[in-house]
Structure formats: structure tokens, C-alpha cells
Amino acid sequence: MIKTRFYDFIKSLQDTITTTLENLDGTTTFKEDQWNREEGGGGFTRVIENGAVFEKGGVNISEVYGPLAPAMQAYFKVGDVDFYATGLSLVIHPVNPQVPTVHANFRYFEMYDKSGEVVDSWFGGGLDLTPYYLYKEDAIHFHQVCKTVCNRHEVADYAIFKKKCDEYFHNSHRGEARGIGGLFYDYCKASDEHTMEDWLSFQMDMATHFLEAYVPIVEKRKELSYTPAQRDWQEIRRGRYVEFNLVHDKGTLFGLKTNGRIESILMSLPAHVQWRYDHHPEPDSPEEQMLEVLKNPKDWV
């Protein structure tokens, strides 16, 4: 079954990602927290904190199921159905403001009628980069990895998924993107041209190459010097990250509406954040240059 194969895959991938990031940090390890959901299922939350490289991060997997809550029935425009959802979700917040924050999510969803028959299923996910200072070569590298994976699969269209990412990770209330994007795709279903096996192959390939997209950037930037003012800018931009996750993010909404584990849902929030009233960077500064890119998304590859 696709759901079993995908869950087994993300269990193994969680080990690979956390081990790689622990080795990259060199001073601390992920702490694992297993949790159960009363209505059905549960997950494994792994969190790293107060490291030399990573200030806070989480790499979570979950597998939840049961009756779909009325609020989510209305959201999906369905009746009284059951559901199954599994996925891996991660957010990594670095110490050094020269190193970008990263987010990724790879998920699978099924709906069932009351006889247990699958009535709908789809994949969704993506990955996106949130730098505090713009290094064009890093943006190009991240997007090139995404495009290379997409090019291997007929179901995937880099240009479409990149555009959807720019549109989704957007703080519309501020008129700016959360970061420099990546890929975003959802409701990826079987069709006359493509099977769920095709989507599974793409999903696993993209998830496997997350580390290739992010780790070289961390290795290149983690030893760079930074000033207290640059750290302040990082924390101000993190405030925008928090705003998106609490105001716009569908994953947060789904977790809250399905009685998900609150600590796991909100592990994406950074430890140190600032909200300064009516803050504007200095004209022609690196901070202003970063903000201009966030207001006007670019094609990196």
C-alpha cells in the first residue's frame, strides 16, 4: 500500500536528516518525543536546541487517522468521512544570521467512506528557504536542486511548483514573501496521465534530496562572522516567519482543527524573535536589498 510504503520511507528519512544535522552542529543532539493522538495515531517529534549551529529545529513525522473533524469537513467540502494523514515536517532555525532558515514538508492524505473504501487521496509538500542576508549563489543552488529533481519526473513541473511556492509563502498582510521560495505542491492526485505511483516516486526523490539542497549552504555560511545588529535583523525577520505560520499556514490550521499535538504543531516557531514598531532597514543596506527581493520574487534558475 502506498501509505505504508510512504510512512516507512519517512521514518527512515527522519533518521537520516537528524543524524546529518547533528553531525553538522557537532555540539548537541535531537531529543525525541513520542506522542499519541486520542482519536487515532500519533508521531515522533525530534527537536534540537541551543547548538553551535542550530538554535532551534524540529524534524517530525506523524501518522494520524480517524473521523474527519466537522471543521475540516467544511474546509474540504465533504460529508462525514474518515481520514488518514502521514508526513514529515521540518523547520531549522540557525544561530548565525548568515545561514538561512529552512522548512520542508512531505505528506500523504487519504479519505474513506464509512465502508472503509478510499474515496480520495493525494500527495502534497515542498521545501523553501528563508535567508536573512541574500547570497545569490545559495538561492541558485537551492532552486537548482529542486529543478533537477522535478526534471526527472513527468508529474513535476518546477516552474509551476516554484510559482505556487512564491504565492503560498507570502505574508499578504505585509506585501512580502516569507523567503526566497522553493517548491510548493498540493492535491497531487492520480489522473489519466499519471498514477499515484508516479507521485510517490517524485515525493520520495524530492524528500531524499532535501539535504543536498540545504546542507552545502550551512557548511559555507556557518563560520561567517556577524554583528549584534545583524542578529537583531534576523530576529525581526523571524517575527515575519511567526506571523505567516500563525496567520496563513494551512498545516498549522489542519493540526489545530484535528486535535493535533500543540507542541509538535508549534515547534516551527523560533526561540528568539523581535517585533519592532514600524521598522525599516537603512537605505541601500544589505537588509533593504533582502527586503526588496522578498517584495519582488525572482527566478533563480
Kindly state the average pLDDT of the residues 230-240: 97
What lies within 8 Å, CB to CB, of 91 at 6+ separation is 57, 58, 101, 102, 103, 267, 268
| pLDDT tens track for 125-147 | 999 999 999 999 999 999 999 99
pLDDT tops 80 at residue 119: yes
Cα separation, 106 vs 123, whole angstroms: 8
Phi-psi map region of 220: left, alpha, beta (phi>0 left; psi -120 to 50 alpha): alpha
Q: What is the pLDDT of residue 101?
A: 98
pLDDT tops 90 at residue 255: no
Smallest CA-to-CA distance from 221 within 298, 132, 126 is with 132
pLDDT tops 90 at residue 185: yes
- Per-residue confidence at 61, pLDDT binned at 50, 70, 90? very high
Helix, coil or strand: residue 44 = strand
CATH topology of domain 2-295: oxygen-dependent coproporphyrinogen oxidase (3.40.1500)
Kindly state the average pLDDT of the residues 232-247: 95
Q: What is the pLDDT of residue 93?
A: 97
Kindly state the average pLDDT of the residues 226-231: 98
CA distances in angstroms from 185 to 32, 81, 199, listed in the order given: 28, 24, 11
Kindly state the cell numbers that stand for 181: 521560495
Q: What is the pLDDT of residue 72?
A: 83
Q: What is the pLDDT of residue 10?
A: 98
Cα separation, 86 vs 150, whole angstroms: 22
Query: Could you list the active site residues?
Result: 103
Report the mean per-residue pLDDT for the chain.
95
Q: Could you tell me the residue ranges of all domains in the chain? A: 2-295
Q: What is the pLDDT of residue 107?
A: 97
Kindly state the average pLDDT of the residues 203-209: 98
Q: What is the pLDDT of residue 257?
A: 77
Smallest CA-to-CA distance from 221 within 230, 209, 229 is with 230
Kindly state the average pLDDT of the residues 99-111: 97
Kindly state the average pLDDT of the residues 36-57: 95
Phi and psi (nearest 5°) for 72? Answer: -80, -30
Amino acid letter, residue 181: G
